[in-house]
Chain A
C-alpha cells in the first residue's frame, strides 16, 4: 500500500506571535534555506537566502527579519562558536529597527549543558549585540519539527501542560515540574526571537 507523507510543521510559525511593523525583506541563513524561504515568502515581499553570513555583502538595515535554518551549522562557520558575538553583531547590523532575529537552539537546560554549548547565555549575548528585547519560546517536540510554541514562562508552560500536554502519570509529572518553576527542563528546543 502506498503511504502518505508525514506532515511537516512550519518553522516560521513564530511570526504569528510577534508584532512586525514592516514585512518587506527577509533573510534566511544556513544550509537548505529553500524550504524556509518558501515559508517566509508568505509573510515577506522579498526573501534572500545565504549559506552563511561570512562576507555577506548586504548593507546595514537591509532586512526586517533574519532567520537561521540551523544555528549549530551556521556556528560552525564561525570557528565552532567562538565567533558567535560577531555573528550576532552582523545580524543586528543587517536588521532595520523593529526587525527580528530568529534562531532555534538545543535547550541547554534540557541537555544539561548550562555551562557550555552554542545556546549558552544567548539572551545576554543578544543584548550585548544591540538587540532591544529578547523573547524565548520552547519548541515542542523539537525545533526540527515544531508542533507547539510555548512562551518561556511558568504560567504559559503550566497552562500548556495542563490543557494540551501529556495525560496520565507523565502528564502529572510534567505539570508538577512546570508548576515548580522548572519548566525549562521540559523541552528540547528553544527559539530566541530578538528585536532590533
Chain B
C-alpha cells in the first residue's frame, strides 16, 4: 500500500491491511481543485481493507482534500457519533486527511446492504423495514438539529424560492416549460415549510441490517437538503425500482397513480410521515414536487443516462397529472 495511505490509516489507529481491494475508482486524486471534475463525475475511490484471513475489516473512502462532501461526512459523523442515542444507528467511523487526500473509514459490517436483499423481501416485510428506517432517519434528524445547529434545522424554507435554481437548470436542459410551470405552481402553493434535516441519499444501498435494527451509511449529503419528505420519497421511489427490477413497467409516480396494494401502502407510509412532520396537505404536496424536481435536476447533472431519462419521464408524468387537475396529495399520500 502507498505510504501516504498507510500513514493516514495509522493516524487513526488502523494497521496496514493484509490485502486491499480498490473499488469505485471514480477520478484521480491528487491533483484536484474540486470533488467533481468538468464532466460532473465524482473523484476519489474506496478501499476494502482485508485481514490475513481475507475478511474485510474496514471500508475506506478516499477523497480529494477539497471534497466538500467528504468533509461534510466526516464532520457530521464525528458530531453524531458523540451522541449516545445514535450509537446503534451509526457505524464506528474515523477520519483523517493530509497532502491532498482525506479518508473517511467505516468499520466493515459483513451483512449485505438492503439493496441486495430488497428483491427477496415480500411486501409486508419491505414496508415494515421502510417504516423502521424512516423512523431512524427521523431520530437522526432530530438529534442532528441539536448537535449540528449550523445545518439550520427549523429555519423557514420557501419551496418556490428553494426550487428556483433546479427549475432554471431543467429549463436550460430543455424540459418542457409548460411542465415546469405546472410544477412551480404546486411548489408556490406549498408555501413555506420548516427545515427538517434530510440524509439526502437515503436508499437501500445505504442501509445495513444489524440484529433487529439498521445502520445508516453515507452522510456525504447530510443536511444539504432540508425540505421535509425528501428522504421518504427517495427511499420509497428507489425501493420500488429495486424491487420491481426489470418487471417495472413505469415509474414510481405512475404506479402511485394506480390503486393497487403497493401504491396504497406507499401512500400510508408517506401519510404517516406527513403527520409526524406536522405538514398540511399543500405543504406536503409542495415538498413532494420539490423532491421530484430537485432529484431530476441533480440526476441530469451527474447520473448515468438511464437514470436521467427515467427521472425526466417521471417528472413529465407528475406535471401531466397536475395539468389534468389531479391532486399530488391524493396520488402520493391520499390527501386532498
B contact residues vs A (CB 8 Å cutoff): 1-3, 5-6, 19-32, 38-42, 45, 47-48, 50, 53-56, 62, 108, 110, 112, 115-116, 119, 173-175, 300-305, 308, 312
Contact = CB atoms under 8 A, between A and B. Distances in A.
A160 to B, nearest CB: 5
Contacts of B38: 5
A4 B119 contact: no
Interface in A97-150: 146-150
A2 to B, nearest CB: 6
Contacts of A14: 22
Contact of A156 (B6, B21, B32, B308): B21
A59 interface: no
For the complex of A and B, 3 pairs with smallest distance between CB atoms: A155-B54, A7-B41, A5-B39
B39 A4 contact: yes
A156 B304 CA distance: 29
A46 interface: no
B312 to A, nearest CB: 7
29 contacts: A1-B175, A1-B308, A2-B173, A4-B40, A6-B39, A7-B27, A7-B42, A8-B27, A10-B25, A12-B28, A14-B22, A16-B45, A18-B1, A19-B2, A42-B28, A42-B32, A147-B23, A147-B24, A149-B22, A150-B22, A154-B54, A155-B53, A156-B50, A158-B54, A159-B54, A160-B21, A163-B110, A167-B115, A167-B119
Interface residues of A, number: 39
A170 interface: no
A86 interface: no
Contacts of B108: 163
A118 B42 CA distance: 34
A104 B29 CA distance: 21
A160 B29 contact: no
Nearest to A21: B3
Contacts of A15: 2
Nearest to A156: B19
A18 B19 CA distance: 11
B20 A17 contact: yes
Contacts of A155: 19, 50, 53-54
Interface string A158-170: 1110011001100
A80 to B, nearest CB: 31
Nearest to A160: B21
A158 B112 CA distance: 14
B28 A18 contact: no
Nearest to B36: A7
A19 B50 CA distance: 17
A9 B25 contact: yes
A150 B112 CA distance: 19
